[in-house]
Amino acid sequence: MRAQHPNVTRLVGYCYHLGHQCIKQKGEYVFAHVEERVLCFEYLQGGSLDNHISDESCGLDWPTRFKIVKGVCEGLNYLHNGCKDPIYHLDLKPANVLLDKNMFPKIGDFGLSRLFPLSQTYITSKIIGTPGYMPPEYIERREITSKYDVFSLGVIIVRVIAGDEGYSKCAYMSLEDFLEHVFKVYGG
Protein backbone atom coordinates (compact mmCIF):
# COMPACT_ATOMS: atom_id res chain seq x y z
CA MET A 1 0.00 0.00 0.00
CA ARG A 2 1.53 3.29 -1.10
CA ALA A 3 -0.03 6.16 0.80
CA GLN A 4 2.02 9.30 1.33
CA HIS A 5 0.13 12.16 2.88
CA PRO A 6 0.76 14.40 5.91
CA ASN A 7 -2.39 13.01 7.58
CA VAL A 8 -1.55 9.31 7.07
CA THR A 9 1.00 7.53 9.26
CA ARG A 10 4.32 7.05 7.51
CA LEU A 11 5.89 3.61 7.05
CA VAL A 12 9.54 3.93 8.08
CA GLY A 13 10.65 0.34 7.66
CA TYR A 14 9.84 -3.32 7.60
CA CYS A 15 11.39 -6.67 8.38
CA TYR A 16 10.84 -9.94 6.56
CA HIS A 17 12.31 -13.13 7.95
CA LEU A 18 11.97 -16.65 6.60
CA GLY A 19 12.84 -19.21 9.22
CA HIS A 20 12.36 -22.87 9.96
CA GLN A 21 10.47 -24.49 12.77
CA CYS A 22 10.23 -28.12 13.77
CA ILE A 23 6.59 -29.14 14.00
CA LYS A 24 4.75 -32.40 14.45
CA GLN A 25 2.59 -33.39 11.49
CA LYS A 26 0.79 -36.73 11.22
CA GLY A 27 2.92 -38.17 14.00
CA GLU A 28 6.25 -37.15 12.45
CA TYR A 29 8.47 -34.17 13.03
CA VAL A 30 9.13 -32.03 9.97
CA PHE A 31 10.72 -28.67 9.31
CA ALA A 32 8.30 -26.02 8.13
CA HIS A 33 9.04 -22.64 6.61
CA VAL A 34 7.82 -19.83 8.84
CA GLU A 35 7.36 -16.32 7.46
CA GLU A 36 7.52 -13.38 9.83
CA ARG A 37 6.70 -9.85 8.73
CA VAL A 38 6.85 -6.68 10.80
CA LEU A 39 5.95 -3.16 9.72
CA CYS A 40 7.41 -0.15 11.52
CA PHE A 41 5.52 3.14 11.43
CA GLU A 42 6.52 6.58 12.66
CA TYR A 43 6.13 7.24 16.38
CA LEU A 44 3.55 9.87 17.30
CA GLN A 45 4.06 11.25 20.80
CA GLY A 46 0.49 12.50 21.30
CA GLY A 47 -1.01 9.03 21.41
CA SER A 48 -4.40 8.26 19.94
CA LEU A 49 -7.36 10.60 19.68
CA ASP A 50 -9.50 8.45 21.96
CA ASN A 51 -7.19 9.37 24.86
CA HIS A 52 -7.97 13.05 24.33
CA ILE A 53 -11.74 13.07 23.84
CA SER A 54 -12.98 11.22 26.89
CA ASP A 55 -14.99 13.41 29.26
CA GLU A 56 -12.37 13.05 31.99
CA SER A 57 -9.40 14.20 29.91
CA CYS A 58 -11.02 16.41 27.28
CA GLY A 59 -9.22 19.71 27.42
CA LEU A 60 -9.03 20.38 23.71
CA ASP A 61 -9.80 23.93 22.67
CA TRP A 62 -11.87 24.64 19.57
CA PRO A 63 -8.92 25.45 17.26
CA THR A 64 -7.31 22.11 18.18
CA ARG A 65 -10.57 20.23 17.66
CA PHE A 66 -10.96 21.90 14.26
CA LYS A 67 -7.36 21.06 13.30
CA ILE A 68 -7.91 17.40 14.22
CA VAL A 69 -11.21 17.07 12.34
CA LYS A 70 -9.83 18.89 9.29
CA GLY A 71 -6.71 16.71 9.24
CA VAL A 72 -8.70 13.47 9.46
CA CYS A 73 -10.97 14.72 6.65
CA GLU A 74 -7.95 15.56 4.48
CA GLY A 75 -6.32 12.19 5.17
CA LEU A 76 -9.51 10.30 4.36
CA ASN A 77 -10.04 12.34 1.19
CA TYR A 78 -6.52 11.41 0.11
CA LEU A 79 -7.12 7.70 0.75
CA HIS A 80 -10.37 7.73 -1.25
CA ASN A 81 -9.49 10.18 -4.03
CA GLY A 82 -5.75 10.84 -4.05
CA CYS A 83 -4.41 7.32 -4.53
CA LYS A 84 -4.26 5.40 -7.81
CA ASP A 85 -6.70 2.87 -6.38
CA PRO A 86 -9.00 4.06 -3.57
CA ILE A 87 -8.09 2.78 -0.11
CA TYR A 88 -11.01 2.09 2.22
CA HIS A 89 -9.84 2.12 5.83
CA LEU A 90 -12.84 0.17 7.20
CA ASP A 91 -11.90 0.74 10.86
CA LEU A 92 -11.69 4.50 11.22
CA LYS A 93 -12.21 5.39 14.87
CA PRO A 94 -10.52 7.63 17.48
CA ALA A 95 -8.13 4.83 18.51
CA ASN A 96 -6.82 4.77 14.92
CA VAL A 97 -6.26 8.51 14.68
CA LEU A 98 -2.80 9.23 16.06
CA LEU A 99 -1.56 12.65 17.16
CA ASP A 100 1.93 14.11 17.13
CA LYS A 101 3.26 16.39 19.89
CA ASN A 102 1.50 19.38 18.25
CA MET A 103 -1.84 17.52 18.05
CA PHE A 104 -1.49 17.07 14.28
CA PRO A 105 -3.65 14.05 13.32
CA LYS A 106 -2.61 11.07 11.22
CA ILE A 107 -4.77 8.11 10.24
CA GLY A 108 -3.17 4.81 11.22
CA ASP A 109 -3.80 1.09 11.69
CA PHE A 110 -4.56 -0.12 8.20
CA GLY A 111 -5.03 -3.75 9.26
CA LEU A 112 -8.57 -4.01 7.84
CA SER A 113 -8.00 -1.66 4.90
CA ARG A 114 -8.66 -2.70 1.33
CA LEU A 115 -7.71 -1.40 -2.10
CA PHE A 116 -10.61 -1.09 -4.51
CA PRO A 117 -9.82 -0.55 -8.18
CA LEU A 118 -13.13 1.18 -8.95
CA SER A 119 -15.57 3.20 -6.90
CA GLN A 120 -18.20 0.49 -6.69
CA THR A 121 -20.21 -1.28 -4.06
CA TYR A 122 -18.74 -4.52 -2.74
CA ILE A 123 -20.58 -7.17 -0.76
CA THR A 124 -18.82 -9.20 1.90
CA SER A 125 -19.93 -12.12 4.02
CA LYS A 126 -17.60 -11.33 6.91
CA ILE A 127 -18.27 -8.51 9.37
CA ILE A 128 -15.24 -6.31 9.95
CA GLY A 129 -14.84 -3.05 11.81
CA THR A 130 -15.84 -1.63 15.15
CA PRO A 131 -19.47 -1.51 16.33
CA GLY A 132 -20.70 2.07 16.48
CA TYR A 133 -18.51 3.07 13.54
CA MET A 134 -20.11 0.78 10.93
CA PRO A 135 -22.78 2.31 8.67
CA PRO A 136 -26.32 0.87 8.54
CA GLU A 137 -26.00 -0.39 4.95
CA TYR A 138 -22.97 -2.43 5.99
CA ILE A 139 -24.66 -3.88 9.07
CA GLU A 140 -27.85 -4.72 7.16
CA ARG A 141 -26.54 -5.75 3.73
CA ARG A 142 -22.72 -6.08 4.12
CA GLU A 143 -22.20 -3.35 1.49
CA ILE A 144 -18.76 -1.75 1.39
CA THR A 145 -18.44 1.63 -0.32
CA SER A 146 -16.45 4.77 0.40
CA LYS A 147 -19.47 5.82 2.47
CA TYR A 148 -18.37 3.28 5.09
CA ASP A 149 -15.43 5.49 6.08
CA VAL A 150 -17.48 8.68 5.74
CA PHE A 151 -19.99 7.33 8.26
CA SER A 152 -17.12 6.49 10.63
CA LEU A 153 -15.74 10.00 10.14
CA GLY A 154 -19.10 11.46 11.12
CA VAL A 155 -19.07 9.48 14.36
CA ILE A 156 -15.54 10.74 15.09
CA ILE A 157 -16.60 14.34 14.44
CA VAL A 158 -19.52 14.04 16.86
CA ARG A 159 -17.24 12.54 19.52
CA VAL A 160 -14.64 15.30 19.04
CA ILE A 161 -17.32 17.98 19.31
CA ALA A 162 -19.51 16.52 22.05
CA GLY A 163 -17.22 14.24 24.05
CA ASP A 164 -18.22 10.76 25.17
CA GLU A 165 -21.25 11.86 27.18
CA GLY A 166 -22.61 14.01 24.36
CA TYR A 167 -21.95 11.22 21.88
CA SER A 168 -23.92 8.66 23.87
CA LYS A 169 -26.82 11.09 24.29
CA CYS A 170 -26.85 12.47 20.74
CA ALA A 171 -28.82 9.56 19.30
CA TYR A 172 -31.80 10.72 21.33
CA MET A 173 -31.36 14.47 20.80
CA SER A 174 -32.75 16.76 18.18
CA LEU A 175 -30.19 18.84 16.29
CA GLU A 176 -31.17 21.92 18.32
CA ASP A 177 -30.75 20.07 21.62
CA PHE A 178 -27.40 18.66 20.50
CA LEU A 179 -26.06 22.11 19.56
CA GLU A 180 -27.38 23.55 22.83
CA HIS A 181 -25.55 20.79 24.72
CA VAL A 182 -22.29 21.52 22.86
CA PHE A 183 -22.52 25.27 23.53
CA LYS A 184 -23.38 24.68 27.19
CA VAL A 185 -20.47 22.32 27.78
CA TYR A 186 -17.82 24.06 25.69
CA GLY A 187 -19.00 27.67 25.50
CA GLY A 188 -19.53 29.52 22.31
Q: How many CA atoms lie within 13 A of 93 on its CB side?
A: 14
Which residues make Cβ contacts (< 8 Å) with residue 143, sequence separation at least 6? 121, 122, 123, 137
Output the CA–CA distances (angstroms, integers) from residue 157 to 17, 50, 52, 54, in the order listed.
Answer: 40, 12, 13, 13
Asked if 91 is an active-site residue, the reply is yes
Distance CA 148, CA 155 (A): 11
Query: Which candidate in 55, 61, 91, 177 is catalytic?
Result: 91
Burial class of residue 169 in the structure, from the number of CB atoms within 10 Å of its CB (0-12 exposed, 13-18 middle, 19+ buried):
middle
Annotated active-site positions, please?
91
